[in-house]
Amino acid sequence: MKIISTPLLLGLMLLFTNCHAGNPVKTNATVNSGNVIVLTNETFKQKVFNYDLNKSWKYEGNLPAIVDFYADWCGPCRKLSPMVEELAKKYNGKIIVYKVDTDVQQQLAQSMGISNLPTLLFIPVKGQPRSTVGLVPNETLEKAINEVLLVK
């Protein structure tokens, strides 16, 4: 599956720090789901994209979404997590925010081509998802939400 990124998000992918998936150092961090929905491989296929059935992108949801692919051992992921949770609260009812622990859901991460963390997938209701990799500022996340997800 090919994920298209806007020039702004593509530039940020190269600019900000990220972690390489597959080099886990476990911590005792816990996930505070709040308004964020934690996905498994199966729930991802039901709510976001069933990559087993569909060869091209087909979003399964009714509201735009963000999927945060993270790992507990990833420093930038831990810094990004509170920002993502705040956005879930701020845009509650307008977007859905999901989290995927790539250490627990390794098959899903591999199937989606996630190799660096954190990776955020911005999914409009119609059209192709866009992604960003690494720790990005809150202003950039808000801009992506408004320009990619909430476009009329």
Structure tokens at 31: 């996930």
The pLDDT tens digits for 94-148 are: 999 999 999 999 999 999 999 999 999 999 999 999 999 999 999 999 999 999 9
Mark whether 77 is an active-site residue: yes
Number of helical H runs and strand E runs in the chain: 5, 7
Residue 146 three-state SS: helix
pLDDT digits (tens, 9 = 90+) for 44-101: 999 999 999 999 999 999 999 999 999 999 999 999 999 999 999 999 999 999 999 9
The two structure tokens encoding residue 136: 């990005």
Q: One of 19, 21, 77, 136 is an active-site residue; which one?
A: 77
Domain ranges across the chain: 7-18+35-149
136 and 147 in contact (C-beta within 8 Å)?
Answer: no
* Per-residue pLDDT at 21: 54
What is the pTM (predicted TM-score) of this model? 0.81
pLDDT at 139: 96
DSSP state of 44: H
Tell the CATH superfamily of the 7-18+35-149 domain.
Glutaredoxin (3.40.30.10)
Confidence of residue 19 (pLDDT cuts 50, 70, 90): low
**What is residue 72's predicted lDDT score, i.e. its pLDDT?**
96
Catalytic residue among 21, 36, 67, 74: 74
Spatial CA neighbour of 117 closest among 69, 72, 79: 69
Give me the pLDDT at residue 90, please: 95
